[in-house]
Amino acid sequence: MHTVNKEEPKDIRNFDYAPRSWSGKTPKQFLIDWCRKNLPKSPQPSFEKVPAGRHWRCRVRVNKLEDGILEVCPTILTEDSMQAQHVAATLALYTLVKGQRLLRDREQLPVFQHRDTVLEAIRRNRVVVVAGETGSGKSTQVPQFILEELLTGSLGSQKCRIVCTQPRRISAMSLAVRVSEELGCEEGPGTRVHERSVQSDFLLIILKEILRKRSDLHLILMSATVDCDKFSNYFDRCPVVRIPGRTFPVEVYNLEDVVEETGYVLEQDSDYSQKFLEEEEEINVNVTGKGGKTQIHQEFIVKDTGPIWDLGSDLQNYSSRTGHAVQYMNPNKINMDLILDLLDFLDKSPQYRAVDGAVLVFLPGLAHIQQLYDLLSTDKRFRVKDRYKLIALHSTLSSKDQAAAFTVPPPGVRKIVLATNIAETGVTIPDVVFVIDTGKTKENRYRESSQMSSLVETFISKASALQRQGRAGRVREGVCFRLFTKERYRSFSDYSDPEILRVPLEELCLHIMKCEYGSPEDFLSRALDPPQPQVVSNAMNLLRRIGACELDLPKLTPLGQHLAALPVNVKIGKMLVFGAIFGCLEPIVSMFYVRIQFVPKCVFSFKQC
């Protein structure tokens, strides 16, 4: 029951619900007839008038039998009790119809067909790996399967807390919103967010240890990209439940196909053309004149070093224009000109123009998103607002801006979403039909020059390329345009290297000691991908050298406690701590920026077109 606080502003409405104003049924009668048709064994809905001072509201109860009781009571106040009944009936009918639609949507997900298999595996095992293809519904449905079984007592009657992690904030938020809608609650369920990074490996070690101590803990690992057998072996050969994805066929075009179809021409002075060092070859020319006199002339001929990639037979069926463009295009630059030409091609090509659906462009980072967004906003080909809707999707943007990516535009409007690998897994943009994959991402890597880790642009793995491709086949047959060659794809690694094998481990060692998990060397030797002992030893030696931990014990000093709370390199962290102590923090921060050659992050404002 909703209690009206005297200080709350009251929402009072006056509706003319006299019989003469109706051309058909009243909302109350609509609700009664709907229940007779869809819930024939259920008793008629009950209406309880609730006085609120000199105004009214109404509480409606609908017995859905096996699905329980639906009870609604609007916060809207009316001037008479009959109006209140009609308002409450409208809300009840909306809730019933919405719940029915959501149930149909749930039942169409591939994971729903494997509900019993998943639950049986959870009943029999404390650790289960669910290998679900993108779009299978594993993230939204498996937690609900468990909750429903707990409520019915099938998994026991004890209290339970279900914690669901996601790789990014936006993934967690969209998951929480969807699950809350399906459960019919106003607030999203609590979620904890981590990335498949050093922190996730840290968490897996802890969970494996806790599983030995707590018999009431169950762990379900779900992913579309991980090596499932590797995770299964790590958790004592736990079972793997494999669920197919709900995807349509996706046609894949590589760089050579894109260049051929769009008619793109790579100019010699283009910013995206590889600049080769010119080598001069000395040639001696003997010239014989009249009288038989011979003179020697020296000529210096520029020697063309040729392209880095020898694509050979891969380009036999393409034009010379395409061959030249592909061989001399700089693979280390994102070719914005080609992306613009491709987007224009999608709008002019007869086979694609009439296709309703969004375009998802994968870019490495926020700077590339900003660059392409600006180019699209100023290019006259894409400034028609009733034809194009530009949206940026990045983890630093507000939740409101991120939510725009999931809204389906009116028919005839082409939505273009510019995203990082945030859209690769975890979140689903429902209307994507075209994917443009630049083949790049940013990874945290160690830089020897600065002796610190930083985000570095690099090529993606084959697993990521397949994930991106699959985003085009969620609602209908789709198309994926890869801005890299077949040869380049064959050179990709199968999976990305775990972050724990790519970065220094000082910060992780600090965290291990802060949590009092013992020796970092012993702790990290139990990781899914254990780092080399020498790397861990180097990290500990550095921490001892700067005074962050005791010399003979894995225990933090007061300085180490402060460093463990700072999300920066430990040497920089010590500079900041001492700068604050000695009152010279501002120049220290300036030195910090110079040290890492860091430009403070700009806050970009993307006005949705």
pLDDT one-digit tens code per residue, 394-435: 877 777 777 788 888 988 899 999 999 888 876 778 899 999
Cβ-based neighbour number of residue 69 at 10 Å? 10
Decide which of 455 and 575 is more confident. 575
Mean pLDDT, residues 183-206: 66
Tell me which H or E stretch contains 289.
none
Scanning 25-80, the segments in alpha helix (DSSP H) are 27-38
Lowest average pLDDT, out of 91-95, 211-215, 298-302, 568-572, goes to: 298-302
Residue 222 pLDDT grade (very low, low, confident, very high; cuts 50, 70, 90)? confident
**Least confident span in 121-125, 134-138, 592-596, 605-609:** 605-609
- Look at the block and give the residue holding tokens 């995770």: 231
Determine the pLDDT at residue 174. Answer: 80
472, 362 contact by CB (below 8 A)? no
Task: Give the amino acid at 457.
Answer: E
User: Exposed (0-12), middle (13-18) or buried (19+): which is 198, by Cβ within 10 Å?
Assistant: buried
**504-595 maps to which CATH number?**
1.20.120
Structure tokens at 38: 């869809």
pTM of the model: 0.73
Q: What is the mean pLDDT of the chain?
A: 82
Q: What is the pLDDT of residue 604?
A: 40
Residue 238 has pLDDT above 90, yes or no: yes
Instruction: Look at the alpha carbons of 79, 85, 88, 94 in this order and tell me if their dihedral is positive or negative.
Output: negative
Cβ(27)–Cβ(89) below 8 Å: yes
> Would you list the DSSP string of 188-230?
PPPEEE--TTHHHHHHHHHHHHHHHH-TT--EEEEESSS-HHH
User: What's phi and psi for 295, nearest 5 deg?
Assistant: -120, 145
At the topology level, CATH places domain 312-499 in Rossmann fold (3.40.50)
For the domain spanning 110-243, the CATH number is: 3.40.50.300
pLDDT confidence of residue 213: 92
From residue 281, how far is each of 275, 297, 298, 302, 449 by CA, in Å? 19, 14, 10, 6, 36
- Strand locations in 167-317, DSSP E? 191-193, 219-223, 240-243, 250-253, 279-288, 294-303
Note the pLDDT of residue 300: 41
What gap in Å lies between CA 432 and CA 437, rounded to an integer? 13
Question: How many angstroms separate the Cα of 107 from the Cα of each of 110, 113, 244, 298, 435?
Answer: 8, 8, 15, 81, 27
CA atoms within 13 A on the CB side of 514: 17
Taking only the tens place, the pLDDT of each residue in 324-378 is: 999 899 999 999 999 999 999 999 999 998 898 999 999 999 899 999 999 999 9
Q: Higher-confidence residue: 357 or 284? A: 357
pLDDT at 30: 86
Model confidence band, residue 489 (pLDDT cutoffs 50, 70, 90): very high
Task: pLDDT band for 445, please (50, 70, 90 cuts).
Answer: confident
Q: Report which DSSP code applies to 332.
A: T
What are the backbone dihedrals phi and psi of residue 539, each rounded to the nearest 5 degrees, phi first? -65, -45
pLDDT at 384: 80
Q: Is the pLDDT of residue 598 over 50?
A: no
**Between the CA of residue 382 and those of 261, 388, 414, 419, what are the distances in Å?**
20, 6, 10, 18
| Banded pLDDT at 189 (limits 50, 70, 90) | low
Whether the pLDDT of residue 60 is over 90: the answer is yes
CATH number for 12-107 (one of 3.40.50.720, 3.90.1170.50, 3.30.160.20, 3.40.50.1110): it is 3.30.160.20
Whole-angstrom distance, CA of residue 480 vs CA of residue 467: 11
Say if residue 597's pLDDT is above 60: no
Q: Residue 264 pLDDT > 70, yes or no?
A: yes
Bigger pLDDT: 204 or 306? 204
Query: Per-domain residue ranges for the chain?
Result: 12-107, 110-243, 312-499, 504-595
88's torsion region: left (phi>0), alpha (psi -120 to 50) or beta? alpha
Instruction: Say how many C-beta atoms besides its own lie within 10 A of residue 40's C-beta.
Output: 7
Q: Which of 390, 318, 356 is nearest to 475 (CA)?
A: 356
The yes-or-no answer to whether 12-107 and 504-595 have a common fold is no
The two beta strands, 432-437 and 358-362, are parallel
The DSSP secondary structure of 392-453, one letter per residue, reads EE-TTS-HHHHHGGGSPPPTT-EEEEEE-GGGTSS---TTEEEEEE--EEEEEEEETTTTEE
